[in-house]
Amino acid sequence: MNALATPLNLALFDLDNTLLAGDSDFEWAQFLIAKGVLDAELHAAMNDTFFQQYKEGTLDIHEFLDFQLAPLARHSRAELDAWHAEFMTMRIRPIITAAARERVAQHAAKGDLLAIVTATNSFVTGPICRELGIPHLIATVPAQAAGVFSGQPRGLPSFREGKVARVEAWLESLGLWWGSFGESWFYSDSHNDLPLLEKVTHPVAVDADDTLKATAAARGWAQISLRD
């Protein structure tokens, strides 16, 4: 008789301020400002407002996405792709820490099913996911037709409870559900991710904000740092 197979495990990772020692959406905006594509004063003021709402847990994700995705609609895909390659070198690889790469590698070596689950759009985050060697990305999807972005999201944004719904739809597409896994992990820095943290068997607070840090302490969740 064959021995029972080792249960499949699941490892989910938030991206910004978790696997990255920074925020990819913020860095993308700063990159575009430096190239003269975005107005620095206007964009900085709006970004500060949205970031404050995010920290307070009051962010209107649709209002934010109208702001975040608009620059994609104003430029050709070829131009955007060329900028993104430069962005990866200048802004992203320097904020991927060795500790983050090692944590991903540990799960990969065990054969866990890996995915990044992020509210930041998939144009910005797709190449970052590939850089980290993570095969699956669950992100907010910027709508496009024939390679031209519309400036609007497609489907449910991957934010707060939306992350849970998007993960569950992804698992269903693979013929899986939460009960398919012996163990599951989700790594995040933000209290906005509490709905998904509460779904896994091993919630992990990573360089957490004050609210998540307090929640993790009260519930006995693991708390780690992935900063070098």
Reported as a pLDDT band with limits 50, 70 and 90, residue 93 is very high
Q: What is the pTM of this model?
A: 0.93
- State residue 40's pLDDT score: 86
Q: Which residues contact 51 (CB under 8 A, 6 or more apart)?
A: 26
Reported as a pLDDT band with limits 50, 70 and 90, residue 128 is very high
In what helix (H) or strand (E) does residue 119 lie, and over which residues does it extend? Answer: strand 113-121
At 185, is the secondary structure helix, strand, or coil? Answer: strand
* Range 159-163 average pLDDT: 96
- State residue 67's pLDDT score: 86
Instruction: In whole angstroms, give the CA distance from residue 141 to residue 152.
Output: 9
Angle between helices 77-87 and 24-34 (to 10 degrees): 110
Catalytic, 112? Answer no
Mean pLDDT of the chain: 93
Contact status, residue 126 vs residue 137, Cβ threshold 8 Å: yes
- State residue 7's pLDDT score: 62
Catalytic, 210? Answer no
Contact status, residue 158 vs residue 138, Cβ threshold 8 Å: yes
Reported as a pLDDT band with limits 50, 70 and 90, residue 42 is confident
Work out the percent of the chain whose per-residue pLDDT is above 70. Answer: 97
- State residue 2's pLDDT score: 41
Contact status, residue 92 vs residue 27, Cβ threshold 8 Å: yes
pLDDT at 3 over 70: no
- State residue 145's pLDDT score: 92
Instruction: In whole angstroms, give the CA distance from residue 177 to residue 173.
Output: 9
| Tokens representing residue 209 in the block | 């904000």
Going along the chain from its start, the domains and CATH numbers come out as 10-224 (3.40.50.1000)
Cα 19 off chain centre by: 9
* Range 130-145 average pLDDT: 97
pLDDT digits (tens, 9 = 90+) for 96-117: 999 999 999 999 999 999 999 9
- State residue 6's pLDDT score: 57
Reported as a pLDDT band with limits 50, 70 and 90, residue 218 is very high
